Amino acid sequence: MMTAISRLFRTRTGQERLMSLATMVVLLVGAVFILIPFFWMISTSLKKAGDVYIAPPQWIPVEPQWENYVTAVTRLNYGVHASNTAIIVVCVMIGTLFSSSFAAYGFSRLRAPGRDAIFMVLLGTMMLPGAVTLVPTYLMFNKIGWVNTFMPMIVPAFFGNAFFVFLMRQFYITIPKELEESAMMDGATVYHIWWYIMVPLSGPILATIAVFTFVGTYNDFFTPLIYISDESKRTIAVALTYFQGSPRIGPQMHLLMAAVTMSIVPPILLFIGAQRYFVRGIVMTGIKG
């Protein structure tokens, strides 16, 4: 026994195995820390009102109160806020995917004076604090009567996003030109080439951008906070903050946590579905490039 242990410490393969074990232990402990808040959230969401504020807390509710979710949905008008959010997210995704891939074709394939300068300016805007453009943009939307509509969230998406244009451009550069050239010989216009050749080839990168856009828009709090004032037009993100102190609900943490749990389901499902794009591939190549 003792010799087996000392071999573990002394030999090379033994050390390797110890390192692997230690790595695994550290990673698992870390993963527990990541997951505890979720566990706590779900646990609270299933408690009776009277069992929430007790110390020491129950880690697992004795009788899970599934009807908390029903109560949360009705009291918060969750359906209304979910459909507001869905409308915005879908429109922003369409706008972003169209404008980013369209513009990226110009930046990667067609030569024009000033093209690279425009691209550099575009990349530079990624470092611009949003606060600088915030006030004038708000005043502009206010002037044309778009405050308290979804337009301030949706319309800018149709004008491209610097990071996504960059990702698409990096991807288009890797596609061999032969395909386009033969299509060009057959009389196809550049617009045909973009739509019938480039777009179908960019499935994975479009999916990546779609996921990023979904997550970003769905979680966006600031934009709807400043532009939307009607309760019936609020997105989930904004509605949640009003849920907390609202007189209709009071400080009912179990209902709030039920609502929060529901609110994080769509991005989590999407993440699980698109996991390979995030953790295994495209995103990384894009960033590395």
Partner 1 sequence: MAGTTVAAVQPKRKGWRERREALHAYVFMSPVILGLLIFTLGPILVSLFLSFSNYNLLNDPKWIGVDNYVKMYGERLFWQSLRVSATYSVVSVPLGMTIALFLALLLNRAMRGIYTLRAIYYLPTVISGVGVAMLWRWIFNGQYGVINTLLRNVGIKGPNWLLDENYALIALIITSVWGVGGTMLIFLAGLQGIPAEINEAAEIDGAGRWEQFRYITLPMISHVTFFNLVLGIIGALQVFTDAYVITNGGPNNATLFIAVYLYRHAFQFLNFGYAAALAWVLFVIVMMLTLLVFRSSPLWVFYEQERQGK
Taking alpha carbons only, the member of 117, 208, 108 closest to residue 164 is: 208
Q: Which residue, 3 or 263, is less far from partner 1 as judged by CB? A: 263
- x-or-dash pattern for partner 1, window 204-243, by CB under 8 A? -----------x--xxxxx---x----------xx-xx--
Written as six digits, the tokens of 62 are: 């004795």
Token look-up 């509509």 returns: 149
Rounded to a whole number of angstroms, the minimum distance from the CB of residue 79 to partner 1 is 17
Written as six digits, the tokens of 12 are: 């090379």
Contact assessment for residue 220 and residue 153, using Cβ atoms and an 8 Å cutoff: yes
Instruction: Figure out which of the listed residues 111, 203, 230, 248 binds partner 1, where binding follows CB under 8 A.
Output: 111
Rounded to a whole number of angstroms, the minimum distance from the CB of residue 162 to partner 1 is 8
Q: Which residue, 1 or 133, is less far from partner 1 as judged by CB? A: 133
Rounded to a whole number of angstroms, the minimum distance from the CB of residue 217 to partner 1 is 10
Q: Which residue, 87 or 242, is less far from partner 1 as judged by CB? A: 242
> Alpha carbon of 116 to those of 97, 101, 249: distances in Å?
22, 17, 55
- x-or-dash pattern for partner 1, window 39-68, by CB under 8 A? -xx--x-------xxxxxx-----------
Rounded to a whole number of angstroms, the minimum distance from the CB of residue 142 to partner 1 is 7
Number of residues lying near partner 1 (CB under 8 A): 98
Of the candidate spans 2-10, 60-68, 80-88, 126-134, the one that interacts with partner 1 by CB under 8 A turns out to be 126-134
- x-or-dash pattern for partner 1, window 138-177, by CB under 8 A? xxx-x-------------x-xxx----x-----------x
Type of residue at 69: Y
Residue 175, SS3 per DSSP: coil
CA distance 167 to 151: 26
Q: Does 196 engage in binding with partner 1 (CB under 8 A)?
A: no
To the nearest 10°, the Cα dihedral for 70, 272, 63, 47? -60
Q: Which of residues 68-97 bind partner 1 (CB under 8 A)?
A: none
DSSP string, 20-50: HHHHHHHHHHHHHHHHHHHHHHHHHHTS-HH
CA distance 224 to 227: 5
User: Residue 15 CA to chain centroid, in angstroms?
Assistant: 40
